[in-house]
Amino acid sequence: MTIPSAEGFLPAASCLPCTAEEERAAVEALTRDAEANVKDGDLRYLVSQSWWTNWQSYVGLLSYGENDTDIPLQPTSRPGEIDNRKLVSEENSSGSEEQELQRTLREGEDYTLVPPEVWRKLYDWYKGGPEISRKVICEDPTSRRYIVDVYPLHLALIDERDSSSRTIKLSRKDKVHELYRLVCSILSVEQSKIRLWDYYQKTKNKELVNQSETLEEAQLTMDQEILLEVSVDYTWSSDLAPRCTNNEFALVPLEPSTSSFSIAGGPNISNGYSSRIGSSLPQDNHFNPLLRDTEDGYSGFSNGTKDEIHGLTGLHNLGNTCFMNSAIQSLVHTPPLVEYFLKDYTQEINTDNPLGLQGELAVAFAELLRKLWSAGRTSVPPRAFKSKLSRFAPQFSGYNQHDSQELLAFLLDGLHEDLNRVKKKPYIEAKDADDRPDEEFAEECWNDHKARNDSIIVDKFQGQYKSTLVCPECNKISVTFDPFMYLSLPLPSTVTRMMTVTVFSGTGEFLPMPYTVTVQKNGACRDLFKALSDACCLNDSETLLLAEVYDYRIYRYFSPSELLHSIKDGDQLVAYKLPVGHEKLLRVEILHRKVDRFTSEPQFSISRKLIGSPLVTCIPVDSTSKVDVYAAVSAVLAPFVRAKVHPPGDSMLNGSGPSLDGIVLTDNGASCEKGLSTSNVDEAITDAELLPFNLYLSDDKGHVRNPIDEDSNHVLGPTMRLLMDWSVREHEIYNLKYMEDLPDVFKPGFMSKKTRQEAVNLFSCLDAFLKDEPLGPDDMWYCPSCKEHRQASKKLDLWRLPEILVVHLKRFSYSRYMKNKLDTFVNFPIHHLDMSKYAKHTSRGDQPSIYELYSVINHYGGLGGGHYSAYAKLVEEDNWYHFDDSHVSSVNEEETRTSAAYLLFYRRVDGNSCPMSEDVPVDTDMVDSPEA
């Protein structure tokens, strides 16, 4: 479609109305041009995801269906103004040109990014805001990988001269010399006269002298301090201080501690460092853990005794790094890894593996593990490790929240390649089973895999699948045996969701009432309308107007065709019961504002603090006098009148408003009123002294405060917005508590008992994972017999189980336009997880595969503002602990089994592992589950 240009014919501020098709074509063309010519330093603008989804639906860009199948949506109404207020932090500094964002936003869930040209078009068409722009930075010049720096690096600049502090913002990809230049510009000092120090945790860790490294490479993290020193007569204040202070550590050789302890029944090992560590490597390179262990102001050595507890060290949150901290804590509490990395592992570092990270990830992980297993409980800032992680895995760089399971998969794979004992991988041609027995072919596949992959990770974490494909046409059977690192188990999908909506009367018949209804999770708002209509006994002459309330205002109205997945559990929904055909009447929105004292003067200066929930009613378009407006508002407020002010039978307020039940709408939109009269309203109501409340004409934000005219109040558009001032007088007349504290759409704790009763167990998840199912239409299999791509059926079996079994519960479901989290409680065993039924083969004879739980990664909250923590068991002392970033606390064993469980870590307790104690309780409710 060609769009004629209006350039040169219209003023710059002019914008002709466009059809939905024209808007779609214009945005698509501008987006293609911008993405084809992206470069470092470009801008991208944030747009509220909920608004963007509505716009996509309006222009026909959005389609939806299960399993990514596109199902065109019915056309929706044109969205309102762009509203980015939910993206901006309430603590945004008024003097800042750059909008401060909420810290837990996620792209695709809370916001989308558009090029400047698209933002200008959208703003011309819809207005709104606020405008939020961020810079594009080049993450990898080689691959031309660009990302948007949504969260710039915030640093607290501490001036040593007066201990003053100010916040400065830069990109994490800016060089150190840019930091110096900015500081010099702010303080008007010469660069030759200043020194900047990494001042994390109020400790002078290192001077920032490498001007060419990036701030990320310098290991500067979000919200940390940097220290400014200014020379006086070429003398630095720190040079006058003693050389060794409490804030600095001398880099001198230290002897390993002689105390020892036992890990999971294994041999006693030193809790210090082996004297052979690094002996095969130059002492000045990055593999020397001894000299690097004092980074971040932490000493990894202890003169502790044998009775001191190890492994109870927390990790600082460096800015949304809880996903990383939880994965690290689970790995560093895996007994085989602890034993391995506390010994001399450096002999196995593979620096020549092109698939590895030159051994640097393994060294960084080992250094961090040793710090965490030193005696004492001081929390550790994992800055060096995060710096390495950002360099090798750019997808985890920055300060956004990420998926702990994705990080765990990267760490296990990266550690394997860095520690691969195979220095030169042989070429092995894939073979076919050729009707050989499964045992023979599986062993051959495993040996071929081990010939190329041999590490501590393979030894402990990897098992083997059996995959069977059957052609639906010729019944050709193809069997392969593949390695796996963890099991990603689906949760039985819940197709419904519970939603709570507060229903208000638009005619003043009843007090607000919350209703909780069950609807299809993948449904539309029309399903919610239907469920609410049944719940509140709606009659044929009534209908519901559904809206979201945010910040005491109506944030948006919902059309029947809008999808329910755009409504989050934390939103607050209201529905107004109005007469059928209310769209042809004038809608009246009433906002509430708290004032210190009663006044009828519009010019009186008062604070504009909104309270309560908006009320909505409607009046005929030709009944907008002051008397009509006050009568309508009096009617809708009638249920909130305190009984002691107006006893039963007093009709001063309750009967003074127009009855909307008497409105009859004709086909041409004209209205006639049966019994609709305001004559019973005393003319004295216009006297300010007798008015029961003060009303003003306002806007949708409650910022405007204009008087109401006596005769008629003309309103542009279909809505009249009113502002009602609440002083002590109004509170004496009306009970505001019924308009306050709206319930959320859904609170996980509200139905916790019900959720637990309807929970599934781990074995049902395993059965769902291993069941026979056809491949998807986008994942066709090429049948070697038919010579065609076929939609074959696929069956997975667990052939060989690892010593460490990691189970990933797939709580997050994704389709092209929807992301969702399942909070289903999964009843998993802590002791005696018997996998014998699922293990088709074991190299250990007839001994059953019994597993014990030793760690859990939890995810709390939703996709946008979620939080990760970990439970881990100190196997040596048989106690469980909760690792929540830097906070470590003791927990009971049963507390580890919650609906927040996301990743489960089991260790086999047969063969070479420590046997299960006879007095350990067995989960009898789970033992028989596999037979069900």
Run of H or E residues at 181:
helix 176-187
CA 719, CA 588: separation in Å to the nearest integer? 6
Query: What pLDDT, on the 0 to 100 scale, is given for residue 748?
Result: 67
**Residue 924: pLDDT above 80?**
no
CA 293, CA 276: separation in Å to the nearest integer? 16
Instruction: Give the three-class secondary structure for 514.
Output: strand
Query: What pLDDT, on the 0 to 100 scale, is given for residue 120?
Result: 93
Q: Which residues pair with 813 in a beta bridge?
A: 820
- Catalytic member of 416, 582, 592, 867: 867
Mean pLDDT of 47-70: 71
Angle subtended by helix axes 322-332 and 335-342, to nearest 10: 80
* DSSP-assigned states of every residue in 749-774: GGGHHHHHHT-EEHHHHHHHHHS-EE
Contact 859, 491 (CB under 8 A): no
Reported as a pLDDT band with limits 50, 70 and 90, residue 776 is low
Mean pLDDT of 329-333: 96
* Exposed e or buried b per residue across 641-668, where buried means at least 16 C-beta atoms within 10 angstroms of its C-beta: beeeebeeeeeebbebbbebeebebeee
* DSSP-assigned states of every residue in 695-725: EEE--TTS---BPPPSS----SSSEEEEEEE
CA 289, CA 524: separation in Å to the nearest integer? 57
| Phi and psi based region of residue 867 (left: phi greater than 0; alpha: psi -120 to 50; beta: remaining) | beta
Mean pLDDT of the chain: 77
Q: Bigger pLDDT: 902 or 677?
A: 902
Query: What pLDDT, on the 0 to 100 scale, is given for residue 495?
Result: 56
Selection from 290, 421, 416 nearest residue 347 by Cα: 421
Q: Report the range of poorest mean pLDDT among 317-326, 427-436, 524-533.
A: 427-436
Residue 471 appears among annotated catalytic residues? no
Reported as a pLDDT band with limits 50, 70 and 90, residue 451 is very high
Run of H or E residues at 811:
none
Dig out the tokens for 373 from the structure.
């297993």
pTM: 0.54
Q: Which residues pair with 764 in a beta bridge?
A: none
Query: What pLDDT, on the 0 to 100 scale, is given for residue 528?
Result: 93
**Residue 405: pLDDT above 90?**
yes
CA 606, CA 163: separation in Å to the nearest integer? 38
Query: What pLDDT, on the 0 to 100 scale, is given for residue 17?
Result: 64
Instruction: Give the three-class secondary structure for 778.
Output: coil
Query: What pLDDT, on the 0 to 100 scale, is given for residue 251?
Result: 31
* Neighbouring C-alpha atoms within 13 Å toward the C-beta of 72: 5
Q: How much of the chain, in percent, has pLDDT values that exceed 70?
A: 73
pLDDT in tens, 458-517: 999 999 999 888 888 888 888 889 999 999 998 875 556 889 999 999 999 999 999 999
Mean pLDDT of 323-335: 95
CA 538, CA 517: separation in Å to the nearest integer? 14
Length of the chain: 932
Q: Report the range of poorest mean pLDDT among 361-370, 636-645, 793-802.
A: 636-645
**Residue 614: pLDDT above 70?**
yes
Dig out the tokens for 57 from the structure.
């639906």
Reported as a pLDDT band with limits 50, 70 and 90, residue 172 is confident
Q: Bigger pLDDT: 283 or 912?
A: 912
CA 725, CA 139: separation in Å to the nearest integer? 53
Query: What pLDDT, on the 0 to 100 scale, is given for residue 376?
Result: 67
Q: Bigger pLDDT: 17 or 803?
A: 803
* DSSP-assigned states of every residue in 304-356: --TTS-BS---B---SS-HHHHHHHHHHHT-HHHHHHHHS--GGG--SS-TTS
User: What are the φ and ψ backbone dihedral angles of 872, each rounded to 5 degrees?
Assistant: -145, 145
**Residue 605: pLDDT above 50?**
no
CA 103, CA 749: separation in Å to the nearest integer? 24
Query: What pLDDT, on the 0 to 100 scale, is given for residue 660?
Result: 43
Residue 322 appears among annotated catalytic residues? yes
Query: What pLDDT, on the 0 to 100 scale, is given for residue 932?
Result: 35
CA 337, CA 366: separation in Å to the nearest integer? 9
Exposed/middle/buried for 323, CB within 10 Å: 0-12, 13-18, 19+? buried
Long-range contacts of 431-436 (CB under 8 A, 24+ apart): 433/479
DSSP state letter for 734: B
Query: What pLDDT, on the 0 to 100 scale, is given for residue 377?
Result: 63
CA 509, CA 636: separation in Å to the nearest integer? 8
Query: What pLDDT, on the 0 to 100 scale, is given for residue 699?
Result: 86
Q: Which stretches does DSSP call E strand in 415-551?
A: 463-470, 477-484, 487-490, 496-505, 513-520, 542-550
Instruction: Count other Cβ atoms within 10 Å, centred on residue 526.
Output: 17
pLDDT in tens, 670-726: 344 433 333 344 443 444 445 778 899 988 888 888 888 888 887 878 889 999 988
Beta-carbon contacts of 854 under 8 Å, excluding residues fewer than 6 positions away, are: 333, 334, 335, 872, 873, 875, 905, 906, 907
Q: Indicate the residue type of 926.
A: M
* Neighbouring C-alpha atoms within 13 Å toward the C-beta of 485: 17
**Residue 436: pLDDT above 90?**
no
pLDDT in tens, 269-321: 222 323 222 333 333 333 444 334 444 444 443 334 444 678 889 999 888 88
Run of H or E residues at 261:
strand 260-261
Dig out the tokens for 233 from the structure.
């007569």
CA 761, CA 765: separation in Å to the nearest integer? 7
Run of H or E residues at 646:
none
- Catalytic member of 310, 322, 582, 765: 322
**Residue 546: pLDDT above 60?**
yes
Dig out the tokens for 699 from the structure.
């806007």
Q: In what order do the strands lie in the sheet with 496-505?
A: 513-520, 496-505, 573-579, 542-550, 553-557
